Amino acid sequence: MSTEEITRMRPAARRERQAAQVLPQFQSLLGQVLNAAGQDEVITIGVTSVRPGAGVSTVVANLAACAAGSVFGKVLLVDANTSRSSLRRTFSLDRGPGLAELLLGSASLEECIQQVAVDNLFVMGIGNVRRSNAPVIAPRDFKRFLDLASQQCRFIVLDLPAAAGASSCFSLVQELSGIVLVISADKDRSPRVRRCAKQLRDAGGHVIGAVLNKQHERLPEWLDESLA
């Protein structure tokens, strides 16, 4: 699936007008996610990439908006990318507490969630932290957060750090229903994608599919093999 034609979510005045453009491209991805999640009562999907800047935030915003228009009720989108957070800008969130404060115990779940212009969609930003001192998300705290959030939401989408190097992404994926890998068609090559997918699986993640971003040609043959 390509995101070349998918428009980035805009502040309130433009979101509703763009919803019709978002749905067709992401209905297929949502269906793939649901099939992979099986009978999970609460679906938790992490979206990551082979390298930073591949377009993960655009994918999570559109996937969450698509899910919010389905039968799940309240959908929660979480910015868990401590190194490259951008959902605050995407949704014009207030500068309130977010995931960092929730994990530190200085704010409640309700205080960290903001409702946006899309019906049934709620967003949790990373919080009021600087990139230089952003907290490392411990697996135990992450699991506690998911348990808490799942009491209110049946569908949770997380913007994860890129799965590169010693990324904290690898310590979180085993707690999720599935992982979607965003691939930059003009930068990511087959060996790197295969290695990334294997690392995610070795860490206990369930890689359920990929979004090929910045695609200008037909789908490369190596992509299916990389995710098999």
pLDDT values of the chain reduced to their tens digit, one per residue, 228 residues: 433 333 333 333 344 444 444 557 788 899 989 988 877 889 999 999 988 888 899 999 999 999 998 877 899 999 999 877 789 888 989 988 999 999 989 999 999 999 999 999 999 999 987 765 666 789 999 999 999 999 999 999 999 999 987 678 999 999 999 999 999 877 778 888 999 999 999 999 999 988 887 655 554 554 455 555
The model's pTM is 0.83
Residue ranges per structural domain of the chain: 56-177
**From CA 137, how far away is CA 8, in angstroms rounded?**
27
Looking at CATH, the fold of the domain delimited by 56-177 is given as Rossmann fold (3.40.50)
Cα 74 from chain centroid (whole Å): 16
Apex CA 139: angle with CA 120 and CA 157, to 5°?
Answer: 20
Q: Are 18 and 158 in contact (CB under 8 A)?
A: no
Q: Beta strands 121-124 and 113-115: pairing type?
A: antiparallel
Contacts of 43 (CB under 8 A, 6+ apart): 33, 34, 37, 72, 154, 155, 156, 177, 178
